[in-house]
Amino acid sequence: MKITIDQNSGYCFGVEFAIQMAEDEIGHANELYCLGDIVHNDMEVKRLHDKGLRVIDHEQLKDLHDCKVLIRAHGEPPETYATALKNNIELIDASCPVVLKLQNRVKHAFDKMEDKNGQVVIYGKKGHAEVIGLTGQTNNKAIIVTEEADLDKIDYSRPVSLFSQTTKSTQGFYTIKEKIESRFGDKSKVVEEEVFEAHDSICRQVSNREPRLKSFATEHDVVLFVSGKKSSNGKALYKVCKDQNERSYFIENSSEVNPDWFREDDSVGICGATSTPMWLMQDVAQSIAAFAKQPVSF
């Protein structure tokens, strides 16, 4: 049996940067607050909790004073910064640069749409931390769409500016874009009168993993995709693997590995989401090696 860990999997730049900032700050103090889970992976959240990172929500933030709070890679709406200023809270801002740039673009688009009596539409998961930060740039007026049924929320007699959550599927974004265009009717009129503009704001560090994972999944007999169940990115990338290789399995950690999934001469590929730490994928590899009845090479 041969086991290969996908070296292109694991943390994206934004998540890696946020975790490094958290660990550096904890090194100078016994405790640091973090607004929401720093990453959608329970194993990593627990590891950092043991080091002193305490997860809080927005309601708890309102009751804190004179302390330090980390903003994770997903970014935050303007209200969070206002609360911090009011309560003398020092923010350790680990917002991903890609997300910050998108927040700025959404804010400019919203101002433009307000002048035109238009609408900002965001393709994303309602309630997701990044989406909350983005809608905050629009005074929470942005329309969130996740699937085709949500397109009924849009008023097609008014202009639309479409953006995407950075971690959504590229294919999904362009499918939504085409469906919105079709609802406007005459495509030439849409272009001439500028009633619809679509901005592909998906992070390429995320989207570029899709074609790589397609190849990785076909190169192995069995694929174990390691990710937290709360990760939107994880769900999307796992589907890429499953579509290419029926023997693909979604697991959170090594305890979920089933020996019945494997045969003696299988080539096993281990990969993960942008929120999956490398140490967790290595732990999964070691667990397979432990129950295999023949030598395992990595």
Active site residues: 130
Strand residue runs (E) in the chain: 2-5, 32-35, 53-56, 68-71, 90-93, 119-123, 143-145, 160-164, 196-198, 222-226, 248-251, 267-272
Distance CA 73, CA 166 (A): 11
Distance CA 144, CA 229 (A): 22
Q: What are the Cα distances from residue 240, in Å, to 139, 182, 298?
A: 35, 27, 24
Distance CA 208, CA 134 (A): 23
Distance CA 94, CA 190 (A): 39
